Structure formats: C-alpha cells, structure tokens
Amino acid sequence: MSDLFSDQQTLKQVVAPGITLLKRYASTTELMPLIQQIKTQSPLRHMGTSMGHNMRVSSTNCGNLGGYSDDLGYRYLKNDPLTQQAWPSMPSAFKHLAINAAMEAGILNFNPDSCLINHYPIGISMGSHQDKEERDFSWPIVSVSMGLSAVFQIFGKTRSGVELEILLEDGDVLILAGPARLYYHGVKPVKADLMQPNLTDRYNMTFRQAR
C-alpha cells in the first residue's frame, strides 16, 4: 500500500454487533519501522500479573499513557517503570490509523492516548481477559495485527465458552465497541506459516482512549 490504510483495498466485515473487521487495512512495512524506533526507547519486556507470574507476551507502549501490569495489577502509567522516562510519543501515523479505523466502524471523535504493543513469538498465546481499566467504555478498542496470523477468540460476557473465533492476518484491524467493548477475549497460540518460514512472530498494537 502507499499509505497506512486504504479503504479502496479494504474488505469491511461487521462480524457481530460491535465487532468490525477491516481486512488488509494497515501496512506492516510502514508500521514496523516505527515500532522498532519505539522499542529502542522503551524495550519490550514481560510484564507481571497480580498472581506473581510473568505474561507470555512481551510488551511496550507509546502515547501519553502506557498500559502496565505487575503484582499491583493492571493500570495506566505516564512513565515507563523500566526507563523511568515518559513513554515514547505516539507517532502521528499510528493515531491517524486508529482514528480512521474507528471511523470505518462508525465511531467519530476517537482520540487514542495509549497504544499497547504486544509481541507474540511462535507458540505464544494470550489468555481470556477484559479491557476494563479505561475511564470511559463508550470508546472502542482498535487492534492492529502484523506478521504471523493468529486466531482471536471472543468469549462474550463471561469466560464460560468461546462464542466466536476470528482469523487475524497481517494488516487486519479489529474494532471492538458498543456491546462488545467489555467482552472477554484472547488469542490462541500463534502458529508458524509453512509458506513463509522466515516469518517468526506476530505484533499487535491496541489503541485505547484511556483517560
């Protein structure tokens, strides 16, 4: 693509109420260099959980606030505890992408102030969880997938069973809003792609309006 997004090449799917999938919406070749720059300022790390375990994915952030988790639980911080500095600024291209993706889902005036970047090597998954630390749940979660494909699981209002599975491929953007905003969700273990043996990992950017 010539830009970070292109509605002419995008296949928009309303998967379920509040769940919109934009296929091939983002350009990994343009996003990844920006992620590499962010990683040099705030390196990837395995955050902790309130149960005393380390997360399987490694993470960093950019924006005014960064999502962080340790034995005190998940919360938003202005500074990176690893560097003691402010999180890297959110690139304008990132914000532009998230705002326009939200508009594709019919959501106006979205102004993300936090972008969580997760790294998934082959075999790594994300357990079911809610995103509920933000101040106002009327704003969406905009999730951008890069690299290897992954199966995104929607559990619904409880963890009692998987209601929906969505294949997320390189460049796909998923928006959760409205009735789906507080659904439990997770990611199944990332698998290798035999057709692309040099591709060894997946990155995911999650945009939120935290405050």
pLDDT tens digits, one per residue of 174-198: 999 999 999 999 999 999 999 999 9
Alpha carbon distance 118, 60 (integer Å): 7
Q: Give the bridge partners for 96, in sequence order.
A: none
Structure tokens of 15?
């998967």
Quick check: is 4 in a domain? no
Look over the chain and give the mean of its residue pLDDT values, rounded to a whole number.
93
Three-class DSSP category at 179 = helix
Quick check: is 177 in a domain? yes
Quick check: is 6 in a domain? no
Residues 6+ apart with CB under 8 A from 12: 20, 21, 22, 23, 104
Can you give the residue range of the structural domain that contains 72?
11-208
Alpha carbon distance 91, 34 (integer Å): 8
Give how many domains the chain has, as a whole number: 1
Quick check: is 130 in a domain? yes
Least confident of 57-66, 69-78, 109-118: 69-78
64 class by beta-carbon count within 10 Å (0-12 exposed, 13-18 middle, 19+ buried)? middle
Contact 157, 183 (CB under 8 A): yes
Residue 123's domain is classified under what CATH number?
Answer: 2.60.120.590
Q: Quick one: pLDDT band at residue 108, thresholds 50, 70, 90?
A: very high
Structure tokens of 124?
């790594």
The yes-or-no verdict on residue 8 having pLDDT over 60 is no
